[in-house]
Structure formats: structure tokens, C-alpha cells
Amino acid sequence: MKRKHPGRRLAWLAMACLACAAVGARAPATQPATAPHAATTVSRPLLGEVVEVHVHGTALEGNRLGDSPDRTVTVYLPPGYRHERSRRYPVIYALGGYQPSPALAARIGPHPEGYLFAGVDRAIAEGRLGKVILVNVEGWNRLGGSFWVNSASTGRWEDFVTHDVIDTIDARLRTLPRRDSRGLYGGSMGGFGALSIAMHRPELFGTVFAQSPCCMAMVDELGPTAAWVPLQRVTLAQADAAFRQGDAGALEALALAAAFAPDARRPEVFGDLPYRVEGQRVVAAQPAYVRWQARLPGNRLDREAAGLKTLHGLRIQYGDHDELRHIVDSVPAFHRALLAHGVKHEFLADHGGHMDLGRFERDALPFFARTLAGAAGGEASP
């Protein structure tokens, strides 16, 4: 079937945002917020409470995009948190997906992360999950997504999570500030981030769940296809205009380039693409292609599998009908690579597509109840 726009094959992450832990990078708060936060996707009042916490991102200072280092994360506090003043709680950190286009944001509402809070609240109320804190962190930036890596262009987003966010949450809330009571969750871009951060900093998290992680291999949408041809000449202004019209492909490609192959010599796009056009062929552009490859979790296992072996729990899930075909190919390949490196983990392929919000409650929360210290269920909340 003829495509109207060759760049649209790369417009695959924006549709994924709803399936990810999303929306934390709203307009920065000048003071830590403590008022309850309306979650539009919640079908009944929460027994717990959702608040906003201001985090100054020391790791984001001086980024080339000019993004503010001041961020806001949304936090679910379980029932009884305000009254049980001597009690401390395990924490699940949820990493968000790529920023939705304005049209998609208008459809899904201003706070699509509400399903996370509703799922945790319901699981606690029904005794399927112990009382936990859920911290939702969004990785949006000038280009739509940080991909949760340290980059000279976008900022040190891995450090933002592992230093700025965790230190702020542990200082302000009654957490159990230890590894075995700290979990990490993410979907799509957030799933990539969960695996990437766990591989670099396994001493911080005891248990990790990656749902439909994107960008695990340079195949399918990320392979050398004709979609990269118009991107060779795209400007940031053109990518922005297309994003506002609902086509996020060009902006997503620039976001990946800035994250994986930052280039100070190209301030107009902030990074290098992995491919170039040679005659009628799309071929690897060196050294950018090697730099992109070096970011991929599967290519880092020889160096970083040892850290994953120390986790108390690791689970990877995806749908074999995922519309993002690189996920269908790359996630099982990563599973096989983990087995080859002797990394114990749980692996599930269901028959769904990319956007299945129910996975978080029916798959991720039982996993954390089993593996996160202090999160076992058994006592329903009143």
C-alpha cells in the first residue's frame, strides 16, 4: 500500500504514550505542591491521594535544548499515609513514554497517568498489593522525549532519575530508602529507560518491570528504510510543525539522535542520525550508527549483565500484535540474549497490541507484590 508520507513509518512512539506512565513534566511548580491532583481516568474516588512534588534537576542543568531543570513528578500516596506517621513504604518509580501530539493529548486528557494511580489504589483496596508509594516521572523535553539516557544535548536524564528524583522523594516522603524496597517500571520509551537504567544502576532498584520496551534494536522502523530519506534534510521547525499536525515521526527521530548521538556542532537538531543516503540506498552513517548501537541494552549485556543478575525480580512483557514491529522482533531477541548471559527473568508475550492499559494492573502490580520488599498484599484497605 502506498504511503502518503515516507516519514510516517517513524511516527510510532507518540501513539505509545497512553500505554506508558505519562505526564509529569507540566509547567514547573515554583513550590512543592501538596494539593490532590485530579486524575481524569479514575472511575471512582481514590482511597489514597495523588500529590505533585517539585524536583530541581541538577542533572538537567545546562542542557543544550534550553529546557528548564525544574520538573514536577506526580506521586500516589496510599490510604493512611497522612495518619500512619511512623510507617514507611516501598516505592515504585514509573517512567513515562514519548510526549503525545496535541491531537492525541486532546483525546486522552491532560492526566493519562490516572490509570496507574487507579490500578494501584484498587489493588491496595482489594488486598492484592500492600501499601506502596507510586512516583510517576515524565521524560518530556524540547524534542518530545529524553529516552532516559545521559546526553550532552538533552541533559543527564538517567542521573535525574537516579539522583535528583530518588533523593528528593526519600527526603520528603516516608519511604523505605533501600534497594529491595525500590521498584522501577516503564512502558515503551519508559520500558527502554527501565532496562537501561537498571543495567547501569542495579544497586538502586531491587525489582524491574519493562512493558513493551521500545528501541531495543535497529530493526524494522529503526532499520535502514526509505523513511530516513526525508529526515536527512528536516529542520527542527519542520519537525515541530509536523508534530503539531499529529505526525511525530520527524521529531521522534531528532529526539533519538539527540539522546543517542548528541552533537554540539549541530545545534539546530542537537544530534546525528544513524543513516545517510548513498545513491539509492540508505546506509549506516558512521560514527553515529555505532553510537546509537552502543545505547541499546542488548549490545551492553557483555558489560552489564552482571548487575541484572543481582536483581530480586526482572520481568519483560510485550504483545505479539504490537503495532510497533521493531518491538515484536527485538524484545524476544533481548529475552534470548538474557538467557544466553544467564540472567534470570520472567518473560511474557500476550496477544495484544501496544496500547493495553490493563497490563499495568493485571501484570505489573502482581509482579511487584511478589518481588518488591514490603509490597505483598493480603490486607484490604477499608
Mean pLDDT within 293-309: 96
Band of pLDDT at residue 238, cut at 50, 70 and 90:
very high
Q: Residue 155: what residue type?
A: G
What residue segments make up the domains of the chain, in order of their start? 6-218+291-371
Cα(150)–Cα(136) distance, integer angstroms:
19
Residue 95 has pLDDT above 70, yes or no: yes
Please give the CATH architecture assigned to the domain spanning 6-218+291-371. Answer: 3-Layer(aba) Sandwich (3.40)
Higher pLDDT, 179 or 17: 179
* The pLDDT of residue 229 is above 60: yes
DSSP string across 72-114: EEEEEE-TTTTT-TT--B-EEEEE--PPPPHHHHHHH-S-TTH
Write out the three cell numbers for 28: 514547573
**Given a cut of 70, is residue 7 above it in pLDDT?**
no
Q: What is the pLDDT of residue 26?
A: 30
3-state helix, strand and coil shares in percent for the chain, rounded to the nearest 5: 40, 15, 45
Contact 63, 154 (CB under 8 A): yes
141-189 pLDDT, tens digit per residue, is 999 999 999 999 999 999 999 999 999 999 999 999 999 999 999 999 9
Would you give the distance in Å from CA 247 to the centre of its chain?
Answer: 20
The overall average pLDDT reported for the chain is 87
pLDDT digits (tens, 9 = 90+) for 56-80: 999 999 999 999 999 999 999 999 9
Alpha-carbon gap, residue 54 to 165, rounded angstroms: 9
pLDDT of residue 357: 75
Q: Report the pLDDT averaged over residues 355-367.
A: 89
Cβ contact 94:21 at 8 Å: yes
Chain CA centroid to CA 15, Å? 14
Question: In terms of DSSP H, where are the helices of 270-324?
Answer: 288-295, 297-308
